[in-house]
Amino acid sequence: MSQTHFGFQQVDESQKAQRVRGVFDSVASKYDVMNDLMSMGLHRAWKAYTVAVAHVRDGDRVLDIAGGTGDLARAFAKQVGTRGTVVHTDINEAMLRQGRDRALDEGLVLPTALCDAETLPFAAAEFDLVSVAFGLRNMTHKERALAEMNRVLRPGGRLLVLEFSKVAAPLEKAYDWYSFKVLPRIGQLVAGDADSYRYLAESIRMHPGQAELKAMMKTAGFGHVDVHNLSAGVVALHVGIKC
Ligand SMILES: C[S@@+](CC[C@H](N)C(=O)[O-])C[C@H]1O[C@@H](n2cnc3c(N)ncnc32)[C@H](O)[C@@H]1O
C-alpha cells in the first residue's frame, strides 16, 4: 500500500481522505470565524483578489471545487447573472451545509454537489472557469485532481488555485512561530481543537511551493500558468489556461 503525508505524519494513501474529513467535520461550524481570526481578516483580501483576477462575466459557467463555506462561489454567483451558473462542490457534507446556509442567507440558491475533486462528476469542457481555494493541499493525489480540473474546463478556460505557498525567506522564522505556537492555541480556545489547526500548519509546509505547483499545473495540461504572490508568498494564486 502506498504512503502519503497527512501533515507531518506518514499515512496509508487510503486513510488520508478520511483523516482530512475528520478535520473538516470538526472545524465546520467554527470555520468562518477561525478563518478571520487566524488570518487577521486577510483571507478576505486574498479571495477578493482572486475574484478580481477571475474577471467572471455574465453567462459564465463556473465550478468551485473544495468550496467549503462558499466565499468564492457566492462572489462568482453575483457576477454570472441569471444566464450563468456557479456549481458549489466539496467532499465534506458539513462544510457544504455551512456554505448552503450562508448562500441562502444572501438570497442565493446554488447547485451543489458532494464530490471528490479527484473524480469530478461533470462532463468534459463543461466550465469556463474552475476555482479551488485552500483545498488542493488536502487532496491525496494532487496530480489527479489537477487533471480532472483540466478535463472539465473548455479549451481556453482558466483554473484559479488559491493556496498557501512558500513564504519569503526573511519571514520564515516568524511565520513558523505563529503557525506552530499560536495557531493551535487559537484553535484550542475558539474551536476546542488544537490538533486540526496543527494539521493546518503542517499541511501548509508539505504543500508544493510556487514553482513546483506551476510545473504540476503544466503537466496537468495548462499550457500557460501565471503565479501571483500574495502577502510575501504566504499565499499564491496560480492561474492556468487550458491551451
Ligand atoms: C480550508 S477549506 C477551504 C474552503 C473554501 N474553499 C475557502 O477558501 O474558505 C478546504 C476544503 O477542501 C475540502 N476538500 C478536501 N479534500 C477534498 C477533495 N479531495 N475533494 C474536494 N474537496 C476536498 C474540505 O472538505 C474543505 O472544505
Q: Are residues 169 and 232 in contact, defined by beta-carbon separation less than 8 angstroms?
A: no
Nearest-CA residue for atom 22 of ligand 1: 66
Other beta carbons within 10 angstroms of residue 82's beta carbon come to 7
Q: Tell how far the Cα of 61 is from the centroid of ligand 1, in angstroms.
A: 20
CB 119 within 8 A of CB 145: no
- The DSSP bridge pattern shows strands 61-65 and 127-133 to be parallel
Q: What integer pLDDT is reported at residue 14 of this predicted model?
A: 86
| Residue with CA at minimum distance from ligand 1 atom 15 | 138
Please state, in angstroms and rounded to a whole number, the distance separating the CA atoms of residues 4 and 203: 12
Mutate to test the pocket of ligand 1, among 33, 38, 91 (most ligand atoms within 8 A of CB): 91
Q: How far is the CA of 174 from the centre of ligand 1 (A)?
A: 26
pLDDT of res. 113 = 98
What confidence score (pLDDT) does residue 191 get? 87
**Rounded to 5 degrees, what angle do the CA atoms 142, 32, 187 make?**
85
- Distance between CA atoms of residues 237 and 7, nearest Å: 22
Q: Given ligand 1 and candidates 92, 141, 183, which is best to mutate, with the most ligand atoms within 8 Å of its CB?
A: 92
Q: What is the structure's pLDDT at 51?
A: 98
Q: Which atom from ligand 1 is nearest to the alpha carbon of 116? A: 20
pLDDT the model gives residue 152: 98
Contact 152, 126 (CB under 8 A): yes
Q: Print pLDDT tens along the chain (243 aa).
A: 689 999 998 989 989 988 988 889 999 999 999 999 999 999 999 999 999 999 999 999 999 999 999 999 999 999 999 999 999 999 999 999 999 999 999 999 999 999 999 999 999 999 999 999 999 999 999 999 999 999 999 999 999 999 999 999 999 999 999 999 999 999 999 889 999 999 999 999 999 999 999 999 999 999 999 999 999 999 999 999 999
Give the per-residue pLDDT at 182.
94
